[in-house]
């Protein structure tokens, strides 16, 4: 596996990889890799095949952090990440500096203006603008045939898919399942911020999805979203250290809010533990 630091070198390497005629598959990450990322890299390996090229990008993208968020303290671990990428089957690790991606005077952003507005977008107004900007730049630099994203960031995947269609990127967007800890907590780099007591209570996100699933399964007709939300909110409220940001029910493809909840409706939620904000989602 080669580590690449400059945009010129990643262009050169991926151009040569494409010229070989074998697939090039990109896995964009912000590093601090965990089992969830490794499953994305393994999925990319499958898609690329033995002769294709798996490119993992590792870049803590400042434009997707709100001013009040943890950009400065976001965990960075290049040495460990390099070893993990190699083990998981990456061929190229693209780890550019901030200046390589955002040169002085950078003033162009890519904005998806419909799907990006609700849920995460409502709580973090500039977040998706940063995500779509950096992902569009990575798509231009690497020009992969496919890119793999995690289902844990369901809305992010939908926003990126829309951007890919709208901007005519000839790239297949592949969404790989969420990887969970044994107790159901979705793997996330931010789980490392949790105190032991917060970590214990953080399973409530998974519990909310499970409870909603059960409610839908045992109902004989679609359930009113408002009543189900109130019931689920009580579960979060019971956890002393948890503070709910949102619980939303929506169509998994269009992200349109659902007034009635039935099988196939999607649920997403965000919960604060102190300043750590965790998200999760699932199909009901
Ligand atoms: O999901 C992430 O880790 C980031 O949002 C991404 C897609 C790598 C863009 O910085």
pLDDT tens track for 11-32: 999 999 999 999 999 999 999 9
Mean pLDDT across 154-164: 98
Which residue is it, tokens 């979060």? Answer: 236
The answer to whether residues 213 and 256 touch, using CB atoms and an 8 Å cutoff, is: no
Looking from the CA of residue 64, the nearest atom of ligand 1 is 10
Averaged confidence pLDDT in the chain: 97
The pLDDT score that the predictor gives to residue 131 is: 98
Closest residue by CA, ligand 1 atom 5: 131
**Could you give the residue range(s) of every CATH 3.30.1300.10 domain in the chain?**
189-283
29 lines ligand 1 (CB under 6 A): yes
Burial 13-45 (b: 16+ CB within 10 A, else e): bbeebbeeeebbbbbbbbbbbbebbbbbbbbbb
The pLDDT score that the predictor gives to residue 70 is: 86
**Could you give the residue range(s) of every CATH 3.40.50.620 domain in the chain?**
2-176
Q: Which residues contact 194 (CB under 8 A, 6 or more apart)?
A: 202, 273, 276
Beta-sheet strand order (sheet of 24-29): 2-4, 92-94, 53-58, 24-29, 146-150, 172-176
The pLDDT score that the predictor gives to residue 244 is: 98
What is the CB-side half-sphere exposure of residue 43 using CA atoms within 13 A? Answer: 22
155 lines ligand 1 (CB under 6 A): no
Mean pLDDT across 172-181: 98
Beta-sheet strand order (sheet of 266-273): 242-250, 266-273, 276-283
Q: Annotated catalytic, 106?
A: no
Mean pLDDT across 94-113: 97
In this prediction, residue 213 has a pLDDT band, given cuts at 50, 70 and 90, of: very high
28 lines ligand 1 (CB under 6 A): yes
Task: State how far the Cα of 5 lies from the Cα of 227, in Å rounded to an integer.
Answer: 51
64 lines ligand 1 (CB under 6 A): yes
* Least confident range of 70-84, 147-161, 206-220, 224-238: 70-84
The pLDDT score that the predictor gives to residue 38 is: 97
Angular region, 37: left φ>0, alpha ψ -120 to 50, beta rest: alpha
The pLDDT score that the predictor gives to residue 247 is: 98
- Of the residues 22, 34, 37, 266, only one is catalytic, namely 37
Mean pLDDT across 124-144: 98
CATH fold of the domain at 189-283: 3.30.1300
Angular region, 6: left φ>0, alpha ψ -120 to 50, beta rest: beta
The pLDDT score that the predictor gives to residue 154 is: 98
Out of 3.40.50.620, 3.40.50.360, 3.40.140.10, 2.60.40.10, the CATH code matching 2-176 is 3.40.50.620
Mean pLDDT across 73-87: 94
- Beta-strand ranges (E) seen in the chain are 2-4, 24-29, 53-58, 92-94, 146-150, 172-176, 223-224, 242-250, 260-261, 266-273, 276-283
């Amino acid at each position: 596996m080669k580590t690449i630091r400059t945009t010129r070198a990643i262009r050169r390497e991926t151009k040569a990889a494409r010229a070989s005629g074998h697939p090039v598959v990109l896995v964009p990450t912000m590093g601090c890799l965990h089992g969830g990322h490794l499953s994305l890299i393994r999925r990319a390996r499958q898609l690329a095949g033995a002769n294709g090229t798996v490119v993992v990008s590792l870049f803590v993208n400042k434009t997707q952090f709100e001013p009040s968020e943890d950009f400065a303290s976001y965990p960075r671990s290049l040495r460990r990440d390099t070893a993990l990428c190699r083990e998981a089957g990456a061929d190229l690790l693209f780890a550019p500096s901030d200046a390589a991606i955002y040169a002085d005077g950078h003033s162009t952003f890519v904005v998806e203006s419909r799907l990006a507005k609700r849920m995460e977008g409502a709580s973090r107004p500039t977040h998706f603008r940063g995500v779509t900007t950096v992902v569009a730049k990575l798509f231009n630099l690497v020009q992969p045939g496919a890119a793999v994203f995690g289902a844990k960031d369901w809305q992010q995947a939908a926003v990126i898919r829309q951007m890919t269609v709208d901007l005519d990127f000839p790239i297949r967007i592949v969404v790989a399942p969420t990887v969970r800890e044994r107790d159901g907590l979705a793997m996330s780099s931010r789980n490392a911020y949790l105190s032991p007591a917060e970590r214990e209570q953080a399973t409530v996100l998974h519990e909310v999805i499970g409870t909603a699933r059960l409610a839908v399964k045992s109902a004989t007709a679609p359930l009113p979203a408002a009543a189900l939300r109130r019931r689920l909110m009580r579960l979060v409220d019971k956890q002393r250290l948890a503070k709910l940001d949102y619980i939303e029910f929506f169509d998994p493809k269009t992200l349109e809010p659902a007034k009635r909840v039935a099988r196939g409706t999607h649920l997403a939620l965000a919960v604060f533990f102190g300043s750590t904000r965790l998200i999760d989602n699932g199909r009901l």
